[in-house]
Structure 1
Amino acid sequence: MPTATTPVIPIIDISAAGAGELDVAKALVDAAAEHGFVYIKNTGKDITAQQISNAFELSRALFASPLEEKQKCTIQKNNQGWSGMHSETLDPSSQRVGDYKEAFNFGPFTAAHAAQQPLPDTLDASQVAEIARFCGACHALCERLLHLFGLGLGVTPADFFAASHSPSRPSGSILRFLYYPAPAAVSSPVEKDEVRAGAHSDYGSVTLLFRLRGQAGLEIQTRAGTWEPVPVCPPGTEDDPSPPILVNIGDLLSYWTNGLLRSTVHRVTFEGDGSGGKKVAGESNSEVRLSIVYFCHPANDTKLTAVPSERVKEFKGDLAEANGGNPYAERKVLTADEHLKMRLQASYSHLYENDEKTT
């Protein structure tokens, strides 16, 4: 098995206020420009360790629901609902079959913390409300990060990004629970070049990723084109109440900054299967892997033109070149909603088969 070369992704404490906030903002921008990923220390001010633990318990309960319950909630074109094994293909150009995972996407909740989409009956009202509160906390944290990115880039006004992500406006923002079965439980043989989740960049502005200690698999594509693992607990965080939250830049924030902030391609691998999976000490893919992701999107009608920032204006890189290996780096759309629909159609082609037959 290849040895792991850990990318030096910075760990940033975003709790500073006042004059220190600008230093934090600049550090976030530098990390996003170099790696497209950054760890943020979760001190409990934004999202507590208990909230994260509760969310993972709810995820376990949801995926343990009877199959017929989950099938009643099958994902639709609005990107909400349950998707079963191989339903999503994140890298359709190279995957033999779809991803080896189940997923459940939660769209917006009501002000009373009720769902606006079908959910399995195994989740009671109090559990749904807890998921809704966690979703709200994730969005609030993303708004704070977006404010810091605006500040660090010198965008005028500084709240340009955050204001574009108001939760009161329709958007593609999604809370996603993910379940990867243990490799031994996969019904079909896994070929050597297959991965648990195909190589892709994220569709929105910023992504929050929550992981569990010891669960391996996430890799990012470096500027040199190599694949390197991203540890759940980077050095110095092993004793934290919960692993640091991993934040990554999505396509739209990269579009907005003409590629200055990188939308980095990443994937989830099987361990030691010949697909390039590299082992991080203390992590394994031999068991079930769970993760929770919050994909933050701007309002659907948001234009994706370059933001008013001197640093963005002075950046001389090419959008596609800056996002090396990302086939979606080329600006082909005008609004956030158009970009999301383009990406979903590629990943869930079976949902759009009838559309193609009638055009």
Structure 2
Amino acid sequence: MLQIPIIDFSNFASDDETIKQIYQACTEVGFMYLKNFDISQDLIEQVFNTSKHFFNQPLEIKQKSAWSDEFSNQGYVGIERERLNPNKPGDLKEAFNITTQTQQPYIVEFFQACTNLANQILEAFARALELPVDFFANNHNQNHHTLRLLHYPPIQTPLLPEQTRAGEHSDYGSITLLFQHDEISGLEIQTASGDWIKAPAIPGTVVVNTGDLMQRWTNNKFCSTKHRVVIPENTNQSRYSIAFFCHPNDDTQITCLPSCINESPMYPPISAKEYLLTRLQSTY
């Protein structure tokens, strides 16, 4: 059975073996766990506490900052408001989308820490693909990223057919950082053979996966893997996670990298913003 690799990221800048492991993970699985990365566990815990405080508020308070449209893509998203799989019932989760404009304790510091880590991962990607080390980072330097606080509340109503906490989907941008909390997981990823394997919470790690734009950039060399969050056996438990969606500059043209052309490019060029808007419009 295919396993999601756990990669020590502490020496990524000088260790070619780490780069090989990352390349293998991106081409074979599309997911990896990184350990020994440069974000303190205390800061991560502070953000989880902020998240819990927000989601514990009454719905009428949360709705005052409701998500309004795909152009701003920020604010509160209520339960069943989103369908990550448009063919299935609404997802049993609530979320709060944050951009660089948000000024909250710990959030600003965490957003910057995630940005720094994402740039390090993008540098590793560039080295793995034999590109200039700053190629991807330069195409992400406007910080058009989204931090997403996620809460999967206890199941209190009968499930609709095929309803789940987050429908199967691939992420839209270049890479995603996912911080899982406690032992309550539910995240599953789909292998190339179509099987689903668990991606449990592992203390001291961050889950990293490649998204659609990275797959397009690399002509399918790096895979954007479908994943979902399933209903747990104990439906009375909440699940919390934090996702950092790393997205290229809006005007970046995603065209097949020369080193990734085999016979011909598999995707036409598209701007990063155009692709994101198209995907968001189909989700809400």
Coarse TM-score class (shorter-chain normalised): over 0.9
Deviation digits for residues 105-163 of structure 1, max 9, x if unmatched?
00113xxxx53xxxxxxxxxxxx1311110110011000000000001101x2211111
**Residue of structure 2 aligned with 1:313, choices 253, 257, 261:** 261
- Does the 8 A contact of 1:300 with 1:336 survive in 2? yes
Q: Does 1:160 align with 2:135?
A: yes
> How many Å separate the matches in 1 of 2:100 and 2:116?
14
Q: Does 1:145 align with 2:124?
A: no
Deviation digits for residues 162-195 of structure 1, max 9, x if unmatched?
11111xx262x10000011112xx3x31135221
Which protein has the larger Cα radius of gyration, Structure 1 or Structure 2? 1
SS in 1 for 2:261: helix
* Shift in alpha-carbon separation, 1:300–1:214, aligned structure 2, 3 A: same
> How many Å separate the matches in 2 of 1:175 and 1:31?
24
**Residue of structure 2 aligned with 1:182, choices 154, 174, 193:** 154
Alignment of 1:26-175 (within 5 A): 26-41=20-35, 43=36, 46-77=38-69, 78-93=72-87, 95=88, 97-109=89-101, 115=103, 128-155=104-131, 157-166=132-141, 169=142, 171=144, 173-175=145-147
> Alignment RMSD, CA only?
1.9
> How many Å separate the matches in 2 of 1:161 and 1:285?
41
For 1:354, the equivalent position in structure 2 comes to: none
CA shift at 1:18, angstroms?
A: 5.5
**Residue of structure 2 aligned with 1:224, choices 193, 200, 210:** 193
> How many Å separate the matches in 2 of 1:51 and 1:36?
27
For 1:203, the equivalent position in structure 2 comes to: 172
Deviation digits for residues 282-325 of structure 1, max 9, x if unmatched?
xx65400100000000100000101243xx234x6985xxxxxx
Match of 2:201, as an amino acid?
A: V
Aligned-residue sequence identity (percent) comes to: 40
* Shift in alpha-carbon separation, 1:80–1:333, aligned structure 2, 3 A: farther
> How many Å separate the matches in 2 of 1:270 and 1:332?
37
CA shift at 1:19, angstroms?
A: 4.0
Structure with more strand by fraction: 2
* Shift in alpha-carbon separation, 1:191–1:332, aligned structure 2, 3 A: farther
> How many Å separate the matches in 2 of 1:12 and 1:48?
17
For 1:250, the equivalent position in structure 2 comes to: 211
For 1:215, the equivalent position in structure 2 comes to: 184
TM-score, with length taken from structure 2? 0.93
Alignment of 1:342-357 (within 5 A): 342-348=278-284
> How many Å separate the matches in 2 of 1:99 and 1:18?
39
> How many Å separate the matches in 1 of 2:91 and 2:12?
41
Match of 1:153, as an amino acid?
A: L
TM-score, with length taken from structure 1? 0.74
Match of 2:164, as an amino acid?
A: V
* Shift in alpha-carbon separation, 1:218–1:318, aligned structure 2, 3 A: farther
- Does the 8 A contact of 2:115 with 2:143 survive in 1? no
> How many Å separate the matches in 2 of 1:73 and 1:337?
23
CA shift at 1:228, angstroms?
A: 1.6
CA shift at 1:207, angstroms?
A: 0.3
> How many Å separate the matches in 2 of 1:90 and 1:161?
27
Q: Which segments of 5 or more consecutive residues in structure 2 lack a partner in the other structure?
A: none
Match of 1:228, as an amino acid?
A: I
> How many Å separate the matches in 1 of 2:265 and 2:194?
17
CA shift at 1:70, angstroms?
A: 1.2
**Number of aligned residues:** 282
